[in-house]
Amino acid sequence: FAVVCVRNVNRSMEAHGVLGNKGLDVRSFGAGSCVKLPGRRPHLPMVYDFASTYRQMRDDLVSKEREFYTRNGNGILHVLRRKERIRPSPERFRSARSALTSCSRETLQPVHVTNVEVEDDPEGATLGAFLLCELCQGLQQLADTEDQMGRMLLQVEQRAGKSFLHTVCFY
């Protein structure tokens, strides 16, 4: 499974951790051009390259704005610390696309892409991770993914009270 959000810090990494802890084979990615973390002002985020480690980001935030990030309560230092336990740094989807584009065109293997809207805060990321885990575990139980996926998605949508966008690409 692959999970993607913009920065590969909160939502996709929370799902990465939950899915990995359940024994699922998962990778997570960021789709943006850089990693942006909340700054002192909403229009002035702290910006990092995807090559920066979560530890480097955390240390930089503390060195520049220790009081703001330790007393503010936005939880970003805690989020970064938790992500360090999963892997050292975020991964940009664009840099990892070779896994999708290196396949022979003759295989025409279906790839199911499902968009699940998840709030970008610690609580939303946790709830979204458990919802994604339910989806992934449901997918693994399908005898015929192509025939049963639509029904399974509808069932999860009804239980969760959310709707998902879903499409199939062929690689």
Residue 115 belongs to a domain with what CATH number? 3.40.50.2300
pLDDT digits (tens, 9 = 90+) for 103-134: 565 677 888 999 999 999 889 999 999 999 99
> pTM for the complete prediction?
0.86
Longest dimension (CA), the chain: 57
| Residues whose CB is less than 8 angstroms from the CB of residue 117 and which lie 6 or more positions away in sequence, other chains included | 162
Q: CA angle, 100 as apex, 86 and 104 as ends, to 5°?
A: 145
How far is CA 157 from each of CA 8, 87, 120, rounded to the nearest angstrom?
A: 24, 31, 20
Domain that holds residue 154: 2-170
- Residue 39 per-residue DSSP state: E
Q: Has residue 19 got a pLDDT over 60?
A: yes
Number of domains in the chain: 1
pLDDT digits (tens, 9 = 90+) for 24-54: 999 999 999 999 998 888 899 999 999 999 9
4 — pLDDT class (breaks 50, 70, 90): very high
Q: From the CB of residue 119, how many other CB atoms can be counted at a distance below 10 Å?
A: 13
Q: From the CB of residue 100, how many other CB atoms can be counted at a distance below 10 Å?
A: 12
Q: What token pair was written down for 125? A: 């990321």
Q: Has residue 102 got a pLDDT over 70?
A: no
Mean pLDDT of 131-155: 95
pLDDT at 58: 95
pLDDT at 69: 87
98 — pLDDT class (breaks 50, 70, 90): low
Mean pLDDT of 89-108: 72
Instruction: Spell 139-153 as b/e; 16+ CB within 10 A means b.
Output: beeeeeeeeebeeeb
> Which one has a higher pLDDT value, 87 or 42?
87
φ, ψ at 113 (rounded to 5°): -115, 120
90: nearest Cα among 1, 18, 4? 4
pLDDT at 137: 96
- Report the 3 state secondary structure along 102-169: CCCHHHCCEEEEEECCCCCCHHHHHHHHHHHHHHHHHHHHCCCHHHHHHHHHHHHHHHHCCCCEEEEE
Work out the mean pLDDT of the chain and round it to a whole number.
Answer: 90
